[in-house]
Amino acid sequence: MAKKKKYKGLDIKNKIIIGFIIVIFLSILFMLVVDSPDEKDRGFSKIYEDSIKEINEEIVTIRESLDKEEATEEINDLNDSLKKLEKNILDETIDYEEVDEEIKELKKNIEKIKIEHGIEISDEEISEDKVNFTEVGKKNPNIEKQGSHHIKTSEKYKEIFGEESDIDFEKYDILAVFSGVKNTGGYSIEIISIEEKEELLEIYVEKKSPGEDCLVTMAITYPFDIVKIESSDKNVEFYYDEILIVC
């Protein structure tokens, strides 16, 4: 009868090696789970350090771009909002979503001030709430009265322009701005930006006029701009930035 071979357990040396491997494995696992560079473990204020610094730099840029008397109240409002936000972040009396919303709102206000005062805006600064629009190619309608229009129907379009439109008003709205009649060339008006807010669309318009030393054509002109956007039921508000061209 064959003898059964008796199983011998691991010797002490092998047990120590296996134990050591297990300890190393568990240590690595612990570091991955607990000590991972999760944003919340980096410190609440640390997460937003770069954003706060960026906003501070933008405020300084606006201040340096304007005369001392210009936009003082707007800059002070930005500073006050930023200081309040910084305090709330340091005290941790505000959650992540609220911080993100406030930073987003501050950046929008900075962009708005820059547009209103003709300060250059880089591509990186463009807000996420920008509305795409397309220029509508059209001969000058020679509208003598200055104004702005949000056109949602073909009837309204015909009332303003005196002709039919091939725009599909089921899909698109028309935004039109007019400077009225001018005695010379050198004038222009342009829709430069459209931003979607919770309850309305904000339309930013740039109006340029020639300075007294500028050479202009001696002819009657009717500056205008017409764009189309995706149809929207929101109200619109037009903001004008008037720029005098120095020649």
User: Are 81 and 119 part of one and the same domain?
Assistant: yes
Do 50 and 84 share a structural domain? yes
Asked if the structure places residue 215 within a domain, the reply is: yes
Same structural domain for residues 120 and 173? no
Could you tell me if 94 and 65 lie in one domain?
yes
Are residue 82 and residue 167 in the same domain, yes or no? no
The last residue of a domain, from among 75, 108, 125: 125
**pLDDT tens-digit map of 130-151:** 888 888 877 778 888 899 999 9
Q: Which long-range contacts (CB under 8 A, 24 or more apart) does 130-135 make?
A: 130/193, 130/194, 130/195, 130/196, 131/194, 131/195, 131/196, 131/201, 131/229, 131/230, 132/229, 132/230, 133/175, 133/191, 133/194, 133/227, 133/228, 133/229, 134/227, 134/228, 134/229, 135/225, 135/226, 135/227
Q: Is 84 within a domain?
A: yes
In a domain, 152, yes or no: yes
Are residues 90 and 151 part of one domain?
no
Domain-located, residue 86: yes
Looking at the structure, do residues 74 and 114 belong to the same domain, yes or no? Answer: yes
User: Is residue 45 in a domain?
Assistant: yes
pLDDT digits (tens, 9 = 90+) for 180-229: 999 999 999 999 889 888 888 999 999 999 988 888 889 999 999 999 99
237 occurs within a structural domain:
yes
Give the total number of structural domains in the chain.
Answer: 2
Show which of 81, 100, 125 is a domain's final residue.
125
Q: Say if residue 114 is in the same domain as residue 177.
A: no
- Tell me the pTM: 0.51
- For residues 186 and 98, membership in a common domain is answered with no
Residues of the domain holding 145 = 134-245
Q: Is residue 2 part of a domain?
A: no
pLDDT the model gives residue 159: 92
In this structure, of 5-19, 43-57, 98-112, the range with the lowest mean pLDDT score is 5-19
pLDDT at 94 exceeding the cut of 80: no
Contact assessment for residue 140 and residue 176, using Cβ atoms and an 8 Å cutoff = no
Question: Which run of H or of E encompasses 113?
Answer: helix 96-116
Considering the domain boundaries, does residue 198 fall inside one?
Answer: yes
